[in-house]
Amino acid sequence: MTTPLHRTGREIHYPSQVDVKDPFILLVHQGMVEDIFIEDMKQRGLEVTRSSPFLKHNANGPDMPIDVIFEDKKTKSVESFQTRYLVGCDGAHSNVRKSIPGAQMVGESSNSKWGVLDGEFDEISRPRRC
């Protein structure tokens, strides 16, 4: 059985080549931002539920709660809850944004394919040129 991807730890957030008196963070990655929000929510008695993709929502009117329908991957069931606000933080191809009637993208789009990887690499010796 393959072990799923997971964070193995955190290291300094600035390159060692930066020769400054006081090294500061040069990059604030998504994991750091999420940790701040998650910790704040815990202190307020709230919990983040993962592995629960958004499916759709039903807006019942301006002063009515929004019904949010999602899939609980752990129990393999469709669940719902009610909320006053729905915030889409689900990436470039946001299902939340797509579900908003009349919402239109503004600006340019690109078909560029790219990704971000948090990972560990072993240093490899490079052949020397003579």
Task: Specify if 126 maps to a domain.
Answer: no
Task: Specify if 57 maps to a domain.
Answer: yes
Mean pLDDT of all residues belonging to the chain: 78
Mean pLDDT across the stretch 93-115?
79
**Which residue, among 20, 19, 37, has the nearest Cα to 28 in the 3D structure?**
37
Question: What is the spatial distance between Cα 55 and Cα 96, in angstroms, rounded to a whole number?
Answer: 8
Question: How sure is the predictor about 118, in pLDDT bands with cuts at 50, 70 and 90?
Answer: low
Question: What is the spatial distance between Cα 88 and Cα 69, in angstroms, rounded to a whole number?
Answer: 14
User: pTM of the entire structure?
Assistant: 0.54
Task: Specify if 39 maps to a domain.
Answer: no
CB distance 68 to 61 below 8 Å: no
> How confident is the model at residue 65, as a pLDDT?
93
Over residues 40-73, the pLDDT tens digits come to: 999 999 988 778 889 999 988 888 999 999 998 8
Task: Specify if 32 maps to a domain.
Answer: no
The residue assigned the tokens 């129990």 is 75
- Give the domain extent around 95: 49-101
Task: Specify if 83 maps to a domain.
Answer: yes
Task: Specify if 75 maps to a domain.
Answer: yes
> How confident is the model at residue 69, as a pLDDT?
95
Task: Specify if 54 maps to a domain.
Answer: yes
Q: Indicate if the pLDDT at residue 130 is higher than 60.
A: no
Question: How sure is the predictor about 14, in pLDDT bands with cuts at 50, 70 and 90?
Answer: low
Q: How many structural domains compose the chain?
A: 1
Task: Specify if 61 maps to a domain.
Answer: yes
Higher pLDDT, 88 or 72: 72
Residues 6+ apart with CB under 8 A from 29: 13, 118
